[in-house]
Amino acid sequence: MSETIGFQADNRPTQTTATDKELADAARTFFLKSCEQKYSYNFTWLGRPVIQYPQDLIALQEIIWRIRPDLIVETGVAHGGSLVFYASMLELLGAGRVLGIDIDIRPHNREAIEAHPLARRIDLLEGSSVDSSLGRTVFERASAYKRIMVVLDSYHTHDHVLRELELYAPLVKTGSYLVVFDTVIEVMPASAFPDRPWGPGNNPHTAVQAFLQHNDRFQIDAELDRKLLISAAPGGYLRCIKG
């Protein structure tokens, strides 16, 4: 296991960890302990539970404000807080829609999302994010948009995330982002996931590494890695550099 959370994909320490190991160690201790307490479940965004670390929300808003996507596609809906977060950013930008995909959008969550003041910017698709027919539907809807950002945050096994990467990466063009959450699983103890099929060696991080081995259109945004320190997606912010 790496000594810190803040590691780049090649396991080299980021600038922050290299210059302040005490801070990096404290951040790692906080992250692991906060996971035990389900810290990320403490927050809402405009009234909807948003199961993310605040640092990652800040990183996402920096990206959205900079690249100004007109469509954000997210796999993994849960309570819809992330969808509302994206919709609020697009509302500030004055244009754009959000497309949320989940294999099971529970009725009470769908009702709350569709009743939200920002629902006019949100569309929902129910089905497996790796289903080819659903993928075709996503591409059909996306054809009307020029700059697309994709966020993957559904089922966290290697095979599932790798398939999502291969399926949705073509939507993302030069300058935009493909964000993969829960890459941090790789540096967490296996005991943290007693009832899950994922863990160290089988998770979004390993999927990202496999994806990047045969796809040169994306690179890890090392600047974000350097400054976040606490993140559920170290090495998971992928910037499209060509195509």
pLDDT in tens, the chain (243 residues): 333 344 444 444 445 554 688 998 999 999 999 999 999 999 999 999 999 999 999 999 999 999 999 999 999 999 999 999 999 999 999 999 999 999 999 999 999 999 999 999 999 999 999 999 999 999 999 999 999 999 999 999 999 999 999 999 999 999 999 999 999 999 999 999 999 999 999 999 999 999 999 999 999 999 998 889 999 999 999 999 998
Q: Measure CA of the first residue to CA of the last residue in the chain; give whole Å.
A: 35
CATH class (in words) of the domain with range 15-240: alpha beta
| Neighbour count for residue 24 (Cβ, 10 Å) | 21
The predicted structure's pLDDT at residue 20: 83
The predicted structure's pLDDT at residue 8: 42
**pTM for the complete prediction?**
0.91
The predicted structure's pLDDT at residue 84: 98
Q: How far is CA 95 from the centre of its chain?
A: 21
The predicted structure's pLDDT at residue 12: 46
Q: Compute the distance between CA of residue 128 and CA of residue 110 in angstroms, rounded to an integer.
A: 16
Domain boundaries, the chain: 15-240
Q: Compute the distance between CA of residue 212 and CA of residue 4 in angstroms, rounded to an integer.
A: 22
Strand (E) or helix (H) holding 57: helix 54-67
b or e along 86-104 (b: 16 or more beta carbons within 10 Å of the residue's beta carbon)? bbbbbeeeeebbbbbbbbe
Closest CA to 181 of 234, 135, 127: 234
